[in-house]
Structure 1
Amino acid sequence: MKGRLIIWLLPLLISSCSYGTSTPNEGQQFTSSLTEQERACVQDRLLTGWELNLTNLTNDLSPDEEIAVDMATELCRLTPSDQPTQLQTDNEKPQVPEELLQAPSTFDPTDAPPGKDPLLDEYWRECGLGDAKACDNLFYSAPRGSDYEQFAFSCGGRRNMDCSLLLGIDQPNGDLSPLTPPPGDDEELDKLWANCADGSTSSCGELRLTATSGSLYSQFGTSCGARGTTYCTLILEYDGEPPSLNELKPSMEPPGEDELLDQLWVLCGNQDARSCKDLAKYGPADSIYIKFGISCGGRSVAPCARLFADLTSESP
């Protein structure tokens, strides 16, 4: 978010956008610049945070691998005086750039990509053709403030809302629909499933927060009862937040169990949508880290970038 970016993260974000230039020996080149202590620290973080083995990273790094290595390196090289501090922000006014809000009226699905990055250009073309996943990949890979980011946020020059609702996505487990009966594995989750199927946004969100990650229950809640969107209040009448959300607040201190995840927690709490997404992706299964990321820093169970944009547009 413009004006809110923590200084220590700037080199990391810049480097994460240059992953197309990796060389076959990048893993070896990378480790040669580390002290023995730093290398051990990076190795430990990669194993615990991404299940990556540093000694195996000798070929071209994937985008996720390069970002993981960069993040682990930055954290392992921090000194006490370098530790980032939490910014004071007004949680009622999420910081979403105006150009993102205006993007739907700026772009058209047929617009040609900028031509600055082959991978992002490909995501752009696929997003313009109506691939919802490509729009999400483009948004979370694009440099901040770029045309790539704005085009993705608008779902390829369409409307500023959840791309999967506009463009359609394949159901992760076949022919799920709002009429699909509960699995029957857990009585409480079955009740939430039934209520979510009936259109309760609160129950769908509670399923997302409490069901085992990746389970059919979680997927049903994530898709708002198999309705093809992750933003339930766009298509269903709001009936309150999920009860488990009461346990989370944007100002909560991070758990302190992992320094990397704690940094993502702080950024997510300060309305950084990318950090919320990464926290939900890399946090330990069914941990409070994941719940904090899923809930956009204890605010609501929704796609965070879209949620922040909606909250901004509603602010006076």
Structure 2
Amino acid sequence: MRRCVTFWVFPLIAAACSYGTNTSGQVEQFTSDLSEEERACVEGRLLTGWDLNLADLDGDLSPEEEIAVDTATELCRLTANSSAALPPTDNENPQVSEELLQAPAVFSPSDTPPGEDPLLDQYWLECGLGKAKACDDLFYSAPRGSRYEQFAFSCGGRRNMDCSLLLGIDQPDGDLNPLTPPPGDDENLDRLWTRCSEGSTSACGELRLTAASGSLYSQFGTSCGARGTTYCTLILEYDGEPPSLDDLNPTMDPPGQDELLDQLWELCGNQDARACKDLAKHGPADSVYVKFGISCGGRSVAPCARLFADLQPANP
């Protein structure tokens, strides 16, 4: 199993900060504040998922070991925190902090970056200048709870909404528009393309879920029919979820084909937007892993951080 996990770990090294403390060095930095039950959980996950013995990890961790310990710790804490509650269900409590939701009132586009990380500072400056991709890069690279994350979520101190729609974004291939005719390569996908171009949120989502990753069909669905956003219900009348979502739900078990992807699956199912993004990005092309990530854990085809922010809390 470790050989299989190693194959998927290297593409995720850059994303390691998304799931925990973002530190390096001693294993105690990850596990010193764990309860006995949580530590036992981490030991078990490391042994079964990565063939690592926590007691043998001493000194500086390798990148693979750091990601393994970090992810196992995050997952065990998540399991412990949710053990006394009902499992999350479709479109239940949002996992977005008040600091994120209030960020537009706190920041302005011209604010100076914190100066704690050169790359994040550069993303901050570009986001402040109105570059939607920089805002997204900043959000998914920033430490949780940081000013970087808050600034990015508000599209540079503007609004809490899809930055690509608010700020504008180049369309794939440069010349797509809602009137662009379907490619003609697949009859079923052509029908979905036509319905998406006519404003069907369901058809756009189904294109995103069923068309080959990176294809023109997928790009057209992702951009809501070349309308400049990945959040179709912000600009189109909702007409139902994609039929393929019937096969997915937030509490379904992971496929069991790859230990690391399975753990990202569980985090995504528990409304971790970063995990959903990494699952969609690093899962095998056109696999159920990718579909689960794209659909924010079987909920909806939308930018997951935005979707989770928009979910209404359950009534007490």
Q: Same fold (TM over 0.5)?
A: yes
Contact 1:95-1:271 within 8 A present in 2 as well: yes
1:297 partnered with 2:292: no
| Deviation, structure 1 residue 71 | 2.2
More displaced, 198-207 or 104-113?
A: 104-113
Deviations 1:17-36 (A, max 9, x none): 99xxxxxxxxxxxxxxxxxx
Deviations 1:273-300 (A, max 9, x none): 0000000000000000000000000000
Contact 1:17-1:142 within 8 A present in 2 as well: no
More displaced, 181-190 or 169-178?
A: 169-178
Using the alignment, how far apart are the partners of 1:302 and 1:248 within structure 2? 15
Aligned residues: 263
Aligned to 1:151: 151
| Deviation, structure 1 residue 174 | 2.1
TM-score normalised by structure 1 residue count:
0.76
Aligned to 1:13: 20
Contact 2:295-2:301 within 8 A present in 1 as well: yes
Deviations 1:201-230 (A, max 9, x none): 000000000000000000000000000000
Cα 1:17–1:190 change in 2 (3 A) is farther
| Deviation, structure 1 residue 74 | 5.5
Aligned to 1:35: none
Give the share of equivalent positions with the same residue, in percent.
73
Using the alignment, how far apart are the partners of 1:16 and 1:134 within structure 2? 24
User: Segments of 4+ in structure 1 off by > 6 A?
Assistant: 313-316
Task: Give the residue type in structure 2 aligned to 1:14.
Answer: T
Task: Give the residue type in structure 1 aligned to 2:184.
Answer: G
Aligned to 2:273: 273
Deviations 1:75-133 (A, max 9, x none): 7xx79xx7984835443112211111111121110111111111111110000000101
Using the alignment, how far apart are the partners of 2:77 and 2:93 within structure 1? 26
Cα 1:262–1:238 change in 2 (3 A) is same
Using the alignment, how far apart are the partners of 1:260 and 1:200 within structure 2? 35
Contact 1:245-1:300 within 8 A present in 2 as well: yes
Aligned to 2:257: 257
Using the alignment, how far apart are the partners of 2:274 and 2:69 within structure 1? 19
Contact 2:24-2:66 within 8 A present in 1 as well: no
Aligned to 1:190: 190
Q: Which has the higher contact order (CA 8 A, sep 6+)?
A: 2
Contact 2:88-2:250 within 8 A present in 1 as well: no
1:129 partnered with 2:136: no
RMSD between superposed Cα atoms in Å: 3.0
1:106 partnered with 2:106: yes
Where do 1:88-99 residues align within 5 Å?
Answer: 88=85, 89-91=87-89, 92-99=92-99
